[in-house]
């Protein structure tokens, strides 16, 4: 029986992955700090913690601390899923050292152990993010394929939220972003994930330990923390609606994301374990569709039968991108991945789950106030 270590295994993706691994006969150990931001003050009331409670070997610890890794990563571990990370794009812009210490520092300790200790690891699978692409891949009628930089503050102040060609300044059309696309993140979070995946593959090659990285799009579904006001737009909006608070949408509401359902994400993660075609590769994990924010807000309002107002504010956050959708040809060709859950089905499943949960306190305004104070919300 293979033994798997999942860092962040009590979180949204990790807990669902753990259950699938257990169902396939794997023995699972979890390293997780049971963050209050995700699980609240009492982990015993956390949905995802309870998914794995008494089903895995749990080590409560911090990936940025070597002693936690020493307890978790022992010579009986065959596979490492390194999912633990700080994940809020906006929050990363003002809690810089926290994100670097967790995402890069934690990965550094993992890699140091792999190089310097006699372990028996057969594979390391890293959770990366589409955030490494920044705005992603676009087409300009004059310049062809381009990779725009961050949108200009002066344009956005005037309500112009469109992406412009970095060469000629014209508006451009979004293309599907493939794994060969230029990587230039627009947030601290994005940079930490870029460094994390590149270091992991580099070191893995040097010591012949296969590594692969999955660049997740916007993951959602039952179990996504309703307590965390910093990440997860469906959860944030749902908590606002359940508290009868209005929804205030950034920019013009037309910004879009590739929302990929949790079951599709965990299916993709499982595909890498025994497939040598994944070795030292990076893969997009997405849904084959994109959905704009105003559609999400209206759909959630309708499904919850709510009377809250939806306000298009024109405000914006430094570090946010306009649109994205992943090109999935590579992961389909090499690993056989195809998403199974469309957004219409997925959001219905998510809402049904939310309706079964206690209403959490809405702390979203706190996260916005923090960004305003730092000059990162305009």
Residues known to be catalytic: 189
List, in sequence order, every beta strand (DSSP E) within the chain: 3-7, 27-32, 57-60, 79-82, 123-129, 138-140, 144-146, 173-174, 211-216, 218-220, 247-249, 256-257, 259-261, 282-285, 291-292, 310-312
Structure tokens, 247: 């929804």
CA angle 322, 282, 90 (to 5 degrees): 35
Structure tokens, 305: 């039968």
CA distances from 64 to 72, 133, 209 (A): 13, 25, 22
38 by DSSP, 3-state: which?
helix
* 101-140 per-residue burial string, b: 16 or more CB within 10 A, e: under 16: bbbbbbbbbbbebbeeeebebebbbbbbbbbbbbbbbbeb
- CA atoms of 173 and 164, how far apart (whole Å): 9
């Amino acid at each position: 029986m293979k033994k798997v270590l999942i860092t962040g295994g009590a979180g949204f993706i990790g807990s669902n992955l753990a259950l699938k691994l257990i169902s396939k006969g794997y023995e699972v150990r979890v390293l997780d700090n049971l963050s209050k931001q995700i699980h609240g003050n009492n982990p015993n009331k956390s949905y995802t913690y309870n998914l794995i409670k008494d089903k895995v070997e749990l080590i409560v610890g911090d990936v940025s601390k070597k002693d936690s890794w020493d307890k978790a990563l022992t010579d009986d571990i065959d596979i490492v899923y390194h999912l633990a990370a700080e994940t809020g794009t906006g929050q990363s812009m003002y809690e810089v050292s926290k994100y670097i210490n967790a995402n890069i520092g934690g990965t550094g300790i993992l890699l140091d152990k792999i190089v310097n200790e006699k372990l028996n690891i057969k594979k390391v699978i890293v959770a990366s993010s589409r955030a490494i692409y920044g705005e992603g891949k676009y087409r300009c009628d004059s310049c062809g394929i381009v990779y725009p930089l961050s949108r200009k503050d002066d344009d956005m102040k005037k309500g112009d939220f469109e992406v412009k060609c970095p060469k000629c300044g014209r508006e451009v059309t979004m293309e599907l972003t493939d794994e060969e696309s230029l990587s230039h993140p627009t947030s601290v979070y994005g940079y930490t994930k870029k460094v994390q995946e590149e270091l992991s593959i580099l070191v893995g090659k040097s010591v012949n330990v296969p590594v692969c990285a999955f660049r997740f799009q916007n993951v959602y579904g039952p179990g996504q923390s309703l307590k965390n006001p910093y990440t997860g737009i469906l959860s944030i909006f749902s908590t606002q609606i359940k508290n009868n608070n209005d929804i205030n949408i950034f920019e013009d509401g037309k910004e879009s994301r590739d929302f990929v359902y949790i079951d599709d994400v965990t299916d993709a993660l499982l595909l890498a374990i025994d497939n040598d075609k994944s070795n030292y590769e990076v893969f997009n994990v997405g849904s084959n569709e994109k959905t704009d924010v105003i559609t999400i807000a209206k759909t959630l309002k309708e499904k919850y039968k709510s009377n809250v107002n939806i306000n298009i504010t024109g405000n914006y956050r430094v570090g946010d991108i306009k649109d994205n959708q992943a090109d999935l040809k590579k992961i389909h060709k090499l690993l056989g991945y195809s998403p199974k859950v469309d957004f219409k089905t997925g959001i219905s499943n998510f809402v049904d789950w939310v309706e079964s949960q206690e209403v959490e306190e809405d702390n979203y305004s706190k996260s916005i106030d923090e960004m305003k104070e730092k000059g990162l919300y305009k």
